[in-house]
A and B are shown apart, each in its own frame.
Chain A
Amino acid sequence: MKPWPASARLWWALAGVPAAFLGLFFLWPAGTVIVRGLLGADGFGGGDLAGSLEVITRSRTLDAIVTTVVLAALGTLGSLALGLPAAWALSRFSWRGARTMRALVTVPFVLPTIVVAAAFQALLGRSGMLGFLGLDQSMAAIVLALVFFNISVVVRIVGGAWESLSPRMADAARTLGASPARAFVRVTMPALRPAIASAAAVVMLFCSTSFALVLVLGGSRIRTVETEIYLQVNQFLDLRAAAVLALVQVVFVGIALWVSARARSPRPPAAVEPARAPRGRERLGIAVALAPTALLLTLPGLALLERSLRTTDGHGLDHYAAMVGDPPARSTLTAPLWQAAVTSLATALVATAMAAAVGIVTALLVARRSRRASALESLVMLPLGVSAVVVGLGLLLTLNSSVLGVDLRGSWWLVPIAQAVVALPLMVRALVPAARAIDPRLRAAAATLGASPWRVLWRVDAPLLRSATAASIAFAFAISMGEFGATAFVARPDRPTLPTAIAKLLSRPGIDNVGMAYAAAVLLAALTAAVMLASERLRTTVGAEL
């Protein structure tokens, strides 16, 4: 069947939309970062590799690199340690409350990282509920937050494979004389290995791009490559060092992506049997498997809520009320917090509009597989291949100036642009499978009934893609609202978004600052949850892949 659009010239013309968007707002900025990282400020002539090496061999840098690796490894191991038992309990059996637990496990995945960082700070910080553990500004606190985030990834990927694994295989092993434990080790585990490897790789990727968590929870003690980039830009004003570090980060993410591509789990066969009710000791097993996960997933949220209500003399809504008033003394905010909320909503709306326009065109162009389609798809997925911090730094280095006669210096536009670049690949990822699921013969049928290519698009593709599109737009909006990594570099200090305002407040002393930060985090979580809930209603597979 012929591809859409039938004319190659039209295809290339439309492909110009995503190409121009990404070229200007991603390739050029990210390319500049890499060139500067390798060759120094001017980038041309007299390359200065020695300077780059000098940055890499600084003890600060080596520290940050080691910390990044250790955090990623511990975060991955911890996520597997809690996620695998949870996947077993949730995919193998059906019981009362399994649904609620499943929903609870997926919640962290859609929460903005800054909210999770604030919640763990509320729980483990010095005056937190578990402050007596002494985990304030510790590696352990960051690892716990990473695990909190990534249990859902393990449950989704491994649980999915486990669900479609027939228990008959283990049963067969039992009839051959294997104990339950041996049957598990010899039959079930090998069948799950590809899914576990794939989950581990994805978790590792997320762990090495957890900027907000480390920035907030690590305080001044723990620095990863990403937070080091931020410090070099904001405190030491050393853009050269930042660019070199960004290059290191690109390599990190590249390795994680390469591993995850290699470990991509094969599509498991369809489920053979529905999950059954647990029996006897299995009930105890489920309780033991899920208890730590349930605790880890609920405590930070409770702590965040409690701290947002805690005042100097008891509990009350003071911090929420303060969001509409003047910013607290000793904070670095210059405007009331509600303005940050408005800025966040406005930028997220603009970012979503940009991502949607580019994303929908891209999804339609790549729906039919071909060589040019996969080239375009890879281009659009590229921002996933570098961390948001690098996107932000790149925009700061290039577009924070006059571009093509348009003065973007300190412009408000840089923020939605950065958020759109971050949201675009995830949006396309959600849309493309839906577009590919439309049988090309359906379009051919419409054409033989007299529908022109544009009418086929409008009358067949559009209605069939409506719910996936709405869901991916909600997804892009939620990502933009919570985006921190790139936004932190381009948001103007006097016009923060909700996430950057929260980070600022958290870094200042005083119950007024911290309390308001927690209240704002609750507000941001509620806004994001509302958007995601609306999209969940539209029944989708958004985020199923990553």
Chain B
Amino acid sequence: MSGLTVRDLRVTYPGRPPVEAVRGVSLEIARGESVALLGPSGCGKSSLLSAVVGIVDASGGTVRWDAEDLARVPVHRRGFGLVFQDGQLFPHLTVGANIAFGLEMAGMARAARAERVAELLELVGLAGLGGRAVTELSGGQRQRVALARSLGPRPRLLALDEPLSSLDADLRSRLAVEVRDILQTSGTTGLVVTHDAAEAAVMADRVLRMDDGRLAD
């Protein structure tokens, strides 16, 4: 199987009693495919996504890309991008520098970086705004920048955690279509977490439902 393979993944948060957020989830995503995880808030879908990306530790199970087990691969070497619900743009950097961040980490030369940043700004419909401070952006623009930033280093998998839920309804349905198109044009494998069924249907090729830490069949 090429692409992402998750086997019996578990995420447990310490506490008394410990909280089992994800209780044994298995799923597969083929290269180039987009999958949506749909479920009510608190069902564990964000925890599942975080464990796949590596920003929280799984308490059991495996995450593989192709044949490689990622258990001991730190976040920054997984090559998985992540778009947060509220963008999490670096407040001390301009729009352009935010988008260039991942390219710089990948060791891309300055000239190539500038070119790629312009290309990404174009892709998300923000051409020419590279010099802006991120604090000057509207909510929709921020999410576009977050998307461009994550796509920058060409991640093998792009995870999106409720990417549109902080936006208003009108903008949401428009951006959902755009996200799908962008994932398709860039050929990026996608894993989207959302609580909105319509949004899930638009953004993903396949929808998985999750409830109480498990996938519903």
CB–CB B76/A450 < 8 A: yes
CB–CB B82/A451 < 8 A: no
Binds B, one of A166-174, A279-287, A452-460, A492-500: A452-460
CB–CB A449/B153 < 8 A: yes
CB–CB A448/B80 < 8 A: yes
CB–CB A448/B90 < 8 A: no
Chain B proximity mask over A420-460: 1 for CB below 8 Å, otherwise 0: 00000000000000000001011011111111110100011
Q: How long is the Cα–Cα vector from A445 to B146 in the complex, in angstroms? A: 10
Chain B residues within 8 Å of A404, by CB: none
Query: Most A CB atoms within 10 A — which of B50, B55, B82, B155?
Result: B55
Any chain A CB within 8 A of the CB of B88?
yes
CB–CB B106/A450 < 8 A: yes
CB–CB A464/B149 < 8 A: no
CB–CB B101/A448 < 8 A: no
Min Cβ gap A385→B in Å is 30
CB–CB B101/A446 < 8 A: yes
Min Cβ gap A68→B in Å is 45
Chain B residues within 8 Å of A451, by CB: 76, 101, 105
Any chain B CB within 8 A of the CB of A463?
yes
CB–CB A448/B76 < 8 A: yes
Q: How long is the Cα–Cα vector from A404 to B16 in the complex, in angstroms? A: 46
CB–CB B55/A2 < 8 A: yes
CB–CB A2/B90 < 8 A: no
Min Cβ gap A169→B in Å is 33
Chain A proximity mask over B123-149: 1 for CB below 8 Å, otherwise 0: 000000000000000000000000001
Chain B residues within 8 Å of A439, by CB: 88
Any chain A CB within 8 A of the CB of B213?
no
CB–CB A464/B92 < 8 A: yes
What residue in chain B is nearest A446 (Cβ atoms)? B101
Interface residues of A toward B: which range? 20 to 34
Q: How long is the Cα–Cα vector from A140 to B86 in the complex, in angstroms? A: 58
What residue in chain A is nearest B106 (Cβ atoms)? A450
Chain B residues within 8 Å of A460, by CB: 90
Chain A residues within 8 Å of B82, by CB: 444-445, 448
Q: How long is the Cα–Cα vector from A451 to B75 in the complex, in angstroms? A: 9
Any chain A CB within 8 A of the CB of B39?
no
Partner of B81, one of A6, A442, A449, A459: A449
Any chain A CB within 8 A of the CB of B91?
yes
Q: Provided the pairs A450-B76, A452-B76 are in contact, do residues A444 and B153 lie with their beta carbons within 8 angstroms?
A: no
Chain B residues within 8 Å of A450, by CB: 76-77, 79, 102, 105-106, 153
Chain A proximity mask over B83-127: 1 for CB below 8 Å, otherwise 0: 010001011100000000110011000000000000000000000
Chain B residues within 8 Å of A449, by CB: 76, 81, 101-102, 105, 149-150, 152-153
Q: How long is the Cα–Cα vector from A198 to B45 in the complex, in angstroms? A: 44
Partner of A446, one of B57, B90, B106: B90
Query: Most B CB atoms within 10 A — which of A442, A448, A450?
Result: A448
Min Cβ gap A17→B in Å is 24
Q: How long is the Cα–Cα vector from A447 to B81 in the complex, in angstroms? A: 9
CB–CB B150/A448 < 8 A: yes
Chain B residues within 8 Å of A452, by CB: 74, 76
Interface residues of B toward A: which range? 20 to 34
What residue in chain B is nearest A450 (Cβ atoms)? B105
Any chain B CB within 8 A of the CB of A321?
no
Q: How long is the Cα–Cα vector from A350 to B153 in the complex, in angstroms? A: 44
CB–CB B75/A463 < 8 A: no
Min Cβ gap B51→A in Å is 11
CB–CB B55/A444 < 8 A: yes
Partner of B91, one of A446, A453, A455, A464: A464
Chain B residues within 8 Å of A444, by CB: 55, 75, 82, 88
CB–CB B76/A442 < 8 A: no
Q: How long is the Cα–Cα vector from A439 to B85 in the complex, in angstroms? A: 13
Min Cβ gap A501→B in Å is 43
Q: Provided the pairs A2-B55, A459-B101 are in contact, do residues A448 and B92 lie with their beta carbons within 8 angstroms?
A: no
Q: Provided the pairs A450-B153, A451-B101 are in contact, do residues A441 and B76 lie with their beta carbons within 8 angstroms?
A: no
CB–CB B91/A448 < 8 A: no
Min Cβ gap A254→B in Å is 32
Partner of A448, one of B53, B56, B106: B53
Q: How long is the Cα–Cα vector from A448 to B182 in the complex, in angstroms? A: 19
CB–CB B88/A441 < 8 A: yes
Q: How long is the Cα–Cα vector from A439 to B87 in the complex, in angstroms? A: 12
Min Cβ gap B109→A in Å is 16
Q: Provided the pairs A2-B57, A450-B105 are in contact, do residues A445 and B84 lie with their beta carbons within 8 angstroms?
A: yes
Any chain B CB within 8 A of the CB of A270?
no
CB–CB A442/B105 < 8 A: no
Any chain B CB within 8 A of the CB of A1?
yes
What residue in chain B is nearest A452 (Cβ atoms)? B76
Chain A residues within 8 Å of B76, by CB: 447-453, 455
What residue in chain B is nearest A460 (Cβ atoms)? B90
CB–CB A463/B74 < 8 A: no
Q: Provided the pairs A441-B84, A460-B90 are in contact, do residues A448 and B55 lie with their beta carbons within 8 angstroms?
A: yes
Query: Most B CB atoms within 10 A — which of A441, A452, A459?
Result: A441
Q: Provided the pairs A448-B150, A451-B105, A452-B76 are in contact, do residues A442 and B88 lie with their beta carbons within 8 angstroms?
A: yes
What residue in chain B is nearest A440 (Cβ atoms)? B55
Partner of B56, one of A2, A453, A463: A2
Taking beta carbons and an 8 Å cutoff, which residues of B are in contact with A?
A: 50, 53-57, 74-82, 84, 88, 90-92, 101-102, 105-106, 149-150, 152-153, 155, 159
11 A-B pairs in the complex with CB atoms less than 8 angstroms apart: A444-B75, A445-B84, A446-B90, A448-B76, A448-B159, A449-B105, A450-B79, A452-B74, A455-B76, A459-B101, A464-B92
* Given pairs A1-B50, A444-B55, A448-B53, 11 additional interface contacts (CB within 8 A): A442-B90, A445-B84, A445-B90, A447-B76, A448-B55, A448-B78, A448-B150, A449-B149, A450-B102, A464-B91, A464-B92
Shortest Cβ-Cβ A-B pairs, 6 listed: A449-B102, A450-B105, A447-B75, A448-B82, A444-B55, A445-B88
Taking beta carbons and an 8 Å cutoff, which residues of A are in contact with B?
A: 1-2, 6, 439, 441-442, 444-453, 455, 459-460, 463-464
